[in-house]
Structure 1
Amino acid sequence: MHPLTPLYRCLGNRTYERGDNLWIKVGRFTLIKPPCGKIFDVNREELDDLLQETGALAGSFATSLPTGVDSIAYTIQDPNYGIHSVKRQFRQHLKRYENRCEVRQIDWKQLRDEGLSINRDTARQRQDVAASYADPHRWAEFCEVVSQDENLVTIGCLVNGKLAAFIVAWIDGNRCDGLMMHHHSELSDFRPSHKVIHGLGRIMIARPDISRVCSGRDMIPRQASIAQFKRGAGFESTPIRVAVVIHPSWRRLLTNPWSRRGFRHLRHTMGSRFNALENSQVFDVAAVTQI
Structure 2
Amino acid sequence: MRLDDERLSDNVEKRSGGGKRTLIGGGIGGVIVIVLALLFKQDPNQVNQVLQQVQGPGGTEKVEQLSKENASAIELFSSKVLASTEDVWAAEFRRLNMEYERPKMVLFEDATTSGCGAAESAMGPFYCPADRMVYLDATFFKELEDRFGVKGDFAKAYVIAHEVGHHVQNLLGISRQVQAMRSRLSETEYNKLSVKLELQADFLAGLWANHAQQMRNILEAGDIESGLNAASAVGDDKLQEASTGRVVPDAFTHGTSQQRMFWFKKGFDSGDLSQGDTGIGLGQAGR
Q: Shorter-chain TM-score: which interval?
A: under 0.3
TM-score (norm 1): 0.25
Higher relative contact order (CA 8 A, sep 6+): 1
TM-score (norm 2): 0.26
